[in-house]
Amino acid sequence: MNILMVTHYFDSHGGGVELVARRIFRGLATSQDRMVWAAADVSAAPEEGPHSGSLRLQTWNAVERFTGVPFPVPSLRALRKLQSAVRGADLLLLHDCLYLSNIAAYLFAWMRGIPVLIVQHIGIVPYKNRILRGVMSLANAIITRPMLSSAQQVVFISDTTKRYFSSLRFSRPVITIFNGVDCDTFRPPRHDENRLEIRERLRLPREKPVALFVGRFVPKKGLAILRKMAVREPGITWAFAGTGPLDPAAWGLGNVRVFSDLHDAGLAELYRASDVFVLPSMGEGFPLVLQEALASGLPLVCGSDTAGADQAFIQFARGVDLAKDDDELSATRFLAVVNEVLSTTTSAAAAQRQYEFARARYSWQVALRRYFEAASALVSEFHPAQVTANPAKVRSAYAAGNTTQGQV
């Protein structure tokens, strides 16, 4: 079968949605099934394989450059290319709805009777700007909800997102598929690893506690709250791994370290060198970085809504109620929990329990198999001759080397 996957950006852009898309792109491209990934041309396209390809869409990206809100605007030429790609697909796989290229691809598929599978990552982003909040609420009402209710299959990546859209009627029962984590890369320190040596390589202080944030440097991730925390707790080193318009290096704080080029093994080392993972974001589904931190054995402090993305995950996370329009209060609440966590030593046994839980529950092998089965069911209904009958090939393709993950 021929699958066209559309996202706002490619994985080189660095967001969590894009990294999840990368795993699906690599996992579902096999000897009998072809994957084509279409996204904005603002960053490099992924390396193509014998059964996978990319479609770079000429895009105007000023909205993100000036506001931090990801909203690429495709050109007319890009839309024509996208229409042609949809025409040649057996299945359209979309990640979220509120991007112009995704909306256009959906309409092209609807006009040609091509089945659509939507992976919905988020519900509502509680932007501080009232205009942005209002625009997103309106867009969800008139775009996202109709798209989800009429799509042939909807996948939610968290319980939080599923609850937000629970009032909708869907074409068929929805599926929840949690994002996966590479537990060969992200793991607790081994007994023969010296965390102080890792800190020296990363130029982190040997003795001070390290609080880690990983993700895009954008407002919805809680960067304003993190800045207030760093100012108020100079005794903690605040490590930031990622890129984006709100660069913590510009804060001029001596206890802030920024890592903008870590990925895979290098990023995993930063997790292992840290003492606590902090994510004061709101309006997310289930950020991949939480699962990476979990597998690395780190204590987790995040917003209460984020902690509830998977009911089984709550036992390992300290959820904090964020004050919607009061960063000072949010910073106070977060700092109280962070300091409490840092005052308690995390045992190697507790870290190992987290790792084992992550390995058992958040497996990319299982997730890819479920995506393949969902895609096959749709294509078999609309294009029976295009379906391959052996789901085990997805697992074998994954095991053959599709194991990179974690770029920021």
**Residue whose C-alpha is closest to residue 101's, from 43, 38, 153:** 38
* pLDDT value for 80: 97
**Structure tokens that stand for 234 in this block:** 């100079």
Residue 187 maps to a domain: no
* pLDDT value for 222: 94
Claim to verify: residue 70 and residue 149 sit in the same structural domain: yes
Residue 355 maps to a domain: yes
CB atoms within 10 A of CB 380: 17
Residue 120 maps to a domain: yes
Alpha-carbon span 180 to 363, nearest angstrom: 5
Residue 297 maps to a domain: yes
Claim to verify: residue 58 and residue 123 sit in the same structural domain: yes
* pLDDT value for 385: 64
Claim to verify: residue 277 and residue 384 sit in the same structural domain: no
CB atoms within 10 A of CB 99: 22
* pLDDT value for 35: 95
Residue 37 maps to a domain: yes
Rg, Å, the chain Cα set: 21
Claim to verify: residue 157 and residue 110 sit in the same structural domain: yes
What is the enclosing helix (H) or strand (E) of 92?
strand 91-95
Claim to verify: residue 332 and residue 367 sit in the same structural domain: no
pLDDT digits (tens, 9 = 90+) for 239-287: 999 998 899 999 999 999 999 999 889 999 999 999 999 999 987 878 8
Claim to verify: residue 258 and residue 287 sit in the same structural domain: yes
Claim to verify: residue 374 and residue 353 sit in the same structural domain: no
Domain boundaries, position 255: 195-360
Residues of the chain with pLDDT under 50: 389, 391-408
Instruction: Give the CATH number of the domain where residue 126 resides.
Output: 3.40.50.2000
Claim to verify: residue 255 and residue 394 sit in the same structural domain: no
Claim to verify: residue 167 and residue 29 sit in the same structural domain: yes
Alpha-carbon span 66 to 254, nearest angstrom: 27
Claim to verify: residue 171 and residue 200 sit in the same structural domain: no
